[in-house]
Structure formats: structure tokens, C-alpha cells
Amino acid sequence: MSENILVITEHLQGRVLDITYVMLAGARRLAEQTGGKVIAVLLGYKAQSLAGDFNAEAVHSYDRPSLEHFSPDACLRVLEAEINDEQPRAVLLGHTTLGMDVAGGLSARLNLPLVSQVQRFDGSNFVCQICGGKIMAEGPLPGETALVTMVPGGYRPEDGRGQTPPILEKQAPGLEGMRVRLSHFIEPEAGDVDIAKESVLVSVGRGLQNQNDLETIERLAKDLRGAVSASRPLVDKGWLPTSRLVGKSGKAVKPKMYLALGISGAPEHSEAITGSDLIIAVNTDPNAPIFNVAKYGVVMDMYELIESLSNALEQEAHAA
Amino acid sequence: MNIFVPIKMVPDLVEELSIDPGGAALDTAWMRLILNEFDDHAIEQAILLKERVGGQVTVIAPDAPDVDDALFTAAAKGADRLVKLTGETGSLNSHAAARALAAVIQAEIPDLILTGVQAHNDLDGQVGPLLAESLSMPYIGYVSAVKIENRMATVKKEYPGGLLGEFMVELPAVLGIQASDEPPRYVAFSKVRQAMQTARIEERDLGALDPSGGATVSRMFQPEAAERARMLEGDAGEVAARLVEIMQESGVL
């Protein structure tokens, strides 16, 4: 047993994902409590250069061609060996499309407790964010080695950056007979608007009742010289293409203005809009978590407001 | 294809949630439960696969208020078998649910298990990967398209930034569904009512739950926002006028 904290770092197509730095920052706080070290674990191929700015005492690198791209099967096998070797106090994984694929398997395989959606640590307690950001749950970090999946919001990525830590090359276990294999990547469809580059986004969510109403939203976006984006439910309904999706598996955006209409602001969505200069949210639910990230909020039916807003913009255009 | 779809009911987030007097759990007295939306997509994906390659779809759920409606709705959409796990559900976390599901599903020799990639109240991980490990099957989640051919599933997995990866997965396997190939179909209430009369819900005993591997919550609370939005009051016209001013002040207009 050690008091060290392992951070399972995440990268995609040669770029370190922000959640990696958030986890390193969280691990630092936890290590201060336990008196242990922060060890960053890096799986990949020729990927060691990515670890240059990790805030960690050491990097454990598993570097081989078969680890170039993420595979849950291979990742499980490597992390199983790493955790058995290190016997850390905690293992932090991203509550992401990558980390969530392996955390449960590790918990069941190694018989280790797992806490998910953890936003921060309070002393040696976990604080997690559940129910779409409406409820926080706190409790003691379980077991001797706890597995944790982390959401953003509790730590600043800057605090996870530091000086070049020493890299220890570790030998990966055999990776034959993998039952899940990547064939190829499919890049997001080109040709459509790149919402990550728009300076104004009019974003719609579950509050939009009808696909035909998108015309009204398009008109409003045009009046504001912006583009239309959406949260998950509308993309899943097929009303808008994935290229317009703002959120965890869509895009992170940073417009001058993000106008959120009928979007509740679940963490998967909110985490992707915090780079916006100005967030205005309109929702009928006064307790919607979107009001925790917005600068201005309006509790109102979005349709009612859109009509008045369009009129006001029209008057403004005439006056100018 | 023998397809299993484990589903669960979750608190409806549209309703106000409150904490019970003990301070460490949600108050269930007035809580409305709905089907986890990702599980709805898992049901749809299973039925789409059945329509394409044939097979049987079994939807399985731990007992909860209104779960019968969710099961009958699945039957109305095309599910063949409905199973409800009954008994003492008090300590039902993801770990306990995965073990209970594994005990029932294992004997049925499934080819494919589809379940929602996550639920908003998962505190101890997601059922999918836990279940996969219990059944010694591979798992991949955030799946938004599935094709089956020659004991092999070809799936699309979502990454951040809109990137997708196409993966080959050997069956039997567990897939965590983010979105079905097509949006979940609408089913008229008359068809659900018909299913209530013709479909049968098989009941299985959950047995003694084993929640080990989960976490203990000592306190639940509503998040304290660091900086809550400044709320604009007034009628739609007044609010719209104020918003235009704000947009001008911040250089958007």
C-alpha cells in the first residue's frame, strides 16, 4: 500500500485533453492530504512528449504501437497491472468517453470501490455532482485503493500544469487477443458551420418543442450574426447534425455570446461553454443548473422571449 | 440474436429534487421516476437490430415505481420479453445491480447486451462496464451506431470534439449506448395499453444484494453556485429590451 495518487491521463490525436490537467490538480490536493506523490500514467505510442507539463512527481509511461489508440480492452489490462504494482490510495480517471469505458471494468476486476462524477475533494472526502448537476453528494473516499472518475469544474486546468516530471518506462503486459479493436477514426463532417469558431451562438435544447421551430431559431441567429447550436437531446432526435452539438461528446465553444434557450445545463453541456465571454440563459425551471454558469438568466418560456427579442432586435436595426 | 437490455428508472430532473431529513439521500416521497433516457436509446437500438438481423429482445429492470409502464412501452415498441427484478431494492447501487443482472442474464446465454451508457444518478460507476466484467465480456461505451455481422459488432464510438471511432467488437459483448441509429420511436398509448393486456412481466427475485464496491454518502446538498446568474425580471418585452442593451454593452451588437 502507498499513499500515492495515480492519474490516468487522457489524450486524443496528439493532444492532451483538459480533464487530464483537472485531474492532476485534484490529485495534488488529495496527495497533500495523504502525504503521497502524484503519479501520471500515460498510455500511448511515442507519446512521452505529451507529459512535459504534467504537475506530477513522476510519469509512468506504457509506450508501444498497440497502445497508440484507445481501446478499453487493452487499457484495462495495462491499468490492472499498474494498479497492482503501485497499490495507490486512489486512481483518478476522467468521467469521459474514455475513462468511463474502463473504470467499471477495473472496479469489478480488481475488486476496488469506485466513485463516479467526482468534482472535487474536501479533505479526504469526495464530492460528486449527480442528477444533472442539481445535487452534490459527499462521502469518505472508500477502501484502501479507491477508483474515482472526475468531472471538470472543481479544479483549474492551470493548476495541473508544472515542471517536466521524470518519465519511467514501464513494460506493458501482453496485449494479444483484444476483443475490442479500433478500425479507423471518422472525422466530423466538414462543410457545415464550425460552431467552435462562431462569435455568437444561439443554442437550443429540450425546450424546443418542434423541429419546424428551428426556422425561428435560425432567423434569430441570423439577426444576431451567429449560428445555431444545440444540446444533446435535439441531436439525438436528429433535428440537428452532430456538427452543431455543444457538450462532452460534441464541441467546446467560446463565443462572445452564448444564448442558451431551453437548455437545462447538465454538466456534460455546461463544461463545454465555460469559455464563452457572455452566457445568457432562458429556461422555465428557476433551478436549472444553466443559471449557475450563465451571467444573465431569464425564467420564461423561450418562445415568448424569442418573439419579443426578435421584435426588439428589429427595432434596434431600424434605429441604427 | 439473443439481446438483453438492462434499464433503470431515474428521478425526473424536470421536477424539483429535495434531500430527505437524514440529509444523505434524495427524498423519494414526491419524486417522479422516468426511464433513463440512454436506456430508451438502448431499447430502440435493440429493436432496430432485431428488425435487421432477427432475434429476441429481453428488457430487464429492477423494480421501481412506474417501471411496469416502461416495460410495457418497450413491449409495444417490439421487445419480446419483459423481466422485473423484485425484492428489497434499498441498497441497489450500480455494483449491486450489475451483480444481480449478471446472475439472471448469464444463464440465458446472451449474444449482445445493450444498456444506456450512463444514468445521471450513477454514484458508483455505470452498470454496463461492471456487468461486462461480471460476465467476462468486452465492453465499449458512448456508442451511437451498431451493425452486426458474423458474430462481430461494428460500432461507432463518440469522442470529444465530434470525432468518432469505428470499432470491431467480438460477441458476446456489452455496449453502452449513447444514441440509437435512429431516434427512439414514438408509440401510441393505445398500443401500450394493448401490450399491458397481452405482454407478461416475468418476475425474478433480486436475492440478497451485494453493494460492495460502491461508496457511502454522508451528506447530500444542492450545489452552491459560486456566481449565480443575475436574473432579469419583467415581462417578455422588458426583458428583451434589457437583453438588447446587454448585447450592445458587451459588443455583440
Query: Residue ranges per domain, chain A?
Result: 5-169, 195-319
Pick from A308, A258, A263, A310: nearest CA to A284: A263
Half-sphere exposure of A183 (CA within 13 A, CB side): 12
- Within 8 A of B128 by CB-CB distance, chain A residues are 104
Of B120, B170, B230, the CB nearest to A297: B230
Mean pLDDT taken over chain B: 95
Across the range A148-166, mean pLDDT stands at: 94
A280 to B246: CB separation less than 8 angstroms, yes or no: yes
- Within 8 A of B222 by CB-CB distance, chain A residues are 134-136
pLDDT digits (tens, 9 = 90+) for B119-136: 999 999 999 999 999 999
B13 to A224: CB separation less than 8 angstroms, yes or no: no
Q: What is the CA radius of gyration of chain B?
A: 21
3-state secondary structure of B214: coil
| Percentage of the residues of chain B whose pLDDT score is greater than 70 | 99
Of B19, B169, B231, the CB nearest to A299: B231
The pLDDT score that the predictor gives to residue A191 is 67
Q: How far apart are CA A4 and CA A35, in angstroms?
A: 8
A296 to B253: CB separation less than 8 angstroms, yes or no: no
A139 to B126: CB separation less than 8 angstroms, yes or no: no
B159 to A245: CB separation less than 8 angstroms, yes or no: no
Q: How far apart are CA A70 and CA A43, in angstroms?
A: 8
A179 to B173: CB separation less than 8 angstroms, yes or no: yes
Query: Which CATH number is correct for B2-205, 3.30.300.30, 3.40.50.970, 3.30.390.30, 3.40.50.620?
Result: 3.40.50.620
Same fold, A5-169 and A195-319: yes
The pLDDT score that the predictor gives to residue B225 is 65
- Within 8 A of B6 by CB-CB distance, chain A residues are none
A309 to B164: CB separation less than 8 angstroms, yes or no: no
B126 to A188: CB separation less than 8 angstroms, yes or no: no
Across the range A296-300, mean pLDDT stands at: 97
The pLDDT score that the predictor gives to residue B239 is 96
- Within 8 A of A298 by CB-CB distance, chain B residues are 231-232, 239, 243
Chain A nearest C-alpha distance from B167 (Å): 4
Q: How far apart are CA B32 and CA B16, in angstroms?
A: 9
Confidence of residue A316 (pLDDT cuts 50, 70, 90): confident
Q: Is the pLDDT reported for residue A190 higher than 90?
A: no
Chain A nearest C-alpha distance from B60 (Å): 20
Domain boundaries, given as residue ranges, for chain B: 2-205
The torsion angle over the Cα atoms of residues B64, A265, B44 and A217, rounded to 10 degrees, is: 140
Most confident segment among A43-47, A249-253, B12-16: A43-47
B221 to A266: CB separation less than 8 angstroms, yes or no: no
Of A128, A136, A296, the CB nearest to B246: A296
Helices (H), chain B: 37-53, 67-77, 94-106, 127-134, 189-198, 236-249
B218 to A139: CB separation less than 8 angstroms, yes or no: yes
Topology (CATH) of A5-169: Rossmann fold (3.40.50)
The pLDDT score that the predictor gives to residue B226 is 66
- Within 8 A of A256 by CB-CB distance, chain B residues are 250-252
A149 to B218: CB separation less than 8 angstroms, yes or no: no
B243 to A312: CB separation less than 8 angstroms, yes or no: yes
Q: Is the pLDDT reported for residue B253 higher than 90?
A: no
Helix (H) or strand (E) holding A313: helix A302-319
Of A70, A187, A236, the CB nearest to B41: A236
**How many A×B Cβ pairs under 8 Å?**
290
Residue B227's Cα: distance from chain center in Å? 32
Confidence of residue B29 (pLDDT cuts 50, 70, 90): confident
Q: How far apart are CA A296 and CA A278, in angstroms?
A: 8
Is-cis flag, bond preceding B129, omega within 30? no
Across the range A14-26, mean pLDDT stands at: 96
The pLDDT score that the predictor gives to residue A277 is 95
Q: Is the pLDDT reported for residue A216 higher than 80?
A: yes
> Contact B121/B11 with Cβ under 8 angstroms?
yes
Instruction: List CB contacts of A194: < 8 A, sequence separation 6 or more.
Output: A243
Of A248, A256, A313, the CB nearest to B251: A256
Better-scored residue on pLDDT, A133 or A100: A100
- Within 8 A of A184 by CB-CB distance, chain B residues are 165-166
| Cβ atoms within 10 Å, residue B35 | 25
- Within 8 A of B158 by CB-CB distance, chain A residues are 97, 249
Nine-digit cell string for B156 = 461507432
Mean pLDDT taken over chain A: 94
Q: Is the pLDDT reported for residue A181 higher than 70?
A: yes
Backbone dihedral angles phi then psi of residue A39, each to the nearest 5 degrees: -115, 120
By CB atoms closer than 10 A (0-12, 13-18, 19+), residue A1 is exposed
pLDDT digits (tens, 9 = 90+) for B203-224: 999 889 999 999 999 999 998 7
Q: How far apart are CA B87 and CA B96, in angstroms?
A: 13
| Helices and strands (DSSP H and E) totals, chain A | 7, 17
> Contact A279/A258 with Cβ under 8 angstroms?
yes
Q: Tell how strand B201-205 and strand B9-11 pair up.
A: unpaired
- Within 8 A of B139 by CB-CB distance, chain A residues are 72, 101, 104-105, 180
Q: Is the pLDDT reported for residue B76 higher than 70?
A: yes
B239 to A305: CB separation less than 8 angstroms, yes or no: yes
What residues pair up with B19 in beta bridges, in sequence order?
Answer: B26
- Within 8 A of A287 by CB-CB distance, chain B residues are 16
Q: Tell how strand A58-63 and strand A135-140 pair up.
A: unpaired
Level-2 CATH architecture, domain A195-319: 3-Layer(aba) Sandwich (3.40)
Q: Is the pLDDT reported for residue B149 higher than 80?
A: yes
Nine-digit cell string for A286 = 428557476
B250 to A278: CB separation less than 8 angstroms, yes or no: yes
Q: Is the pLDDT reported for residue A4 higher than 80?
A: yes
- Within 8 A of A96 by CB-CB distance, chain B residues are 160
Of A135, A249, A297, the CB nearest to B178: A249
> Contact A34/A124 with Cβ under 8 angstroms?
yes
Question: B66 — alpha (psi -120 to 50), left (phi > 0) or beta?
Answer: left
B130 to A304: CB separation less than 8 angstroms, yes or no: no
Nine-digit cell string for A72 = 478499453
